[in-house]
Amino acid sequence: MPEYKPQYYPGSTLPSKNRRKYLDPEYKLQKLRTISDDDLVRIMGHRVPGEAYKSTHPPLEETGEPACPIREIVTPTPGAKAGDRIRYIQFTDSVYYAPVTPYVRAWMYHTRYRGVDVGVLSGRVPLEARERDLEKVAKELVETEIFDSARCGIRGATVHGHALRLDENGLMFDAYRRYLFNKKTGEVDYVKDQIGVPLDKPISVGKPIPETELRKRTSEFRIDGNAFRDDKELISWMQRIHMLRTIAGFDPEKVKGI
């Protein structure tokens, strides 16, 4: 039997190629900045840095669960093994050449990470996981090329604004003003956590990526950038999927040979 090779995304345009990279767990995301573990915990706002992880149940090795073939197959994540509670981080991505779009972000979570629960809305993507597992995943999401300090926001509440105009510094609108542009350093500082609670000190998440570079990294289709209609390969694939779905709904036998 031939080995199965995943096909992560079709298309020949730049956004399609970037989507293929981001969805492929074999592709190593490029690290662009460094955020300390404690600062990331402060932005997420779930616990005090250095505080022990709260738990919802005893460690798995102490629970005495009955024999189960699935538990023998699936290796628990460190957070599940320890009994951590479930926490979340939520991102908002600007429509102005952010590296990833909401649906791409959700797909990427599923292909890259274990033990996570993903939601996706028009402009926000919540990611839930056991707390220590979530912090590890969140660090990669913030430190690498799929995050831009100006066009991506960590927003746990009142996320609206991803589709509004950018300010004079290129920052996406945020009703809670969780982050501000530091004119002295040229970096973006978070002054509130993801819920909007003021922080004791500003936390830098680095300089915004220049728009010329964002246009190279983005997975968004835009009429003033890479238009969706220009990706004939992607359109052909989508038309085939919809056609097969419609035909099979009436008579599955009719899809043979298509």
Mean pLDDT, consecutive 10-residue stretches, the chain (258 aa), reads 85 96 96 97 96 94 88 93 97 96 95 95 93 98 97 94 91 95 97 97 97 96 92 91 81 73
Same domain, 183 and 249: no
Same domain, 142 and 255: no
pLDDT at 5: 85
pLDDT at 257: 65
pLDDT at 241: 84
Residues 6+ apart with CB under 8 A from 36: none
Beta-strand relationship, 187-192 and 125-130: unpaired
* Residue 63 domain-assigned (yes or no): no
* Residue 74 domain-assigned (yes or no): no
Structural domain harbouring 197: 14-44+86-223
Same domain, 219 and 115: yes
pTM: 0.89
Same domain, 240 and 175: no
Same domain, 236 and 212: no
pLDDT at 213: 96
* Residue 29 domain-assigned (yes or no): yes
Cα 221 from Cα 55, distance rounded (Å):
42
pLDDT at 33: 96
Strand partners, 125: 91
Same domain, 203 and 94: yes
> Which pair of structure tokens corresponds to residue 8?
């992560």
Task: Assess contact for 170 and 208: CB atoms under 8 A.
Answer: yes
pLDDT at 122: 82
CATH number of the domain at 123, please.
3.90.320.20
* Residue 54 domain-assigned (yes or no): no
Same domain, 102 and 155: yes
What secondary structure does DSSP assign to 185-246, as a single string?
TTEEEEEE-TTSPEEEEEEE--PPPPHHHHHHH-----TTSS-GGG-HHHHHHHHHHHHHHH
Same domain, 215 and 257: no
First to last CA, the chain: 23
Alpha helices in the chain (DSSP H): 14-23, 37-44, 60-63, 69-73, 78-82, 102-112, 131-143, 211-217, 232-250
Same domain, 94 and 177: yes
Same domain, 209 and 103: yes
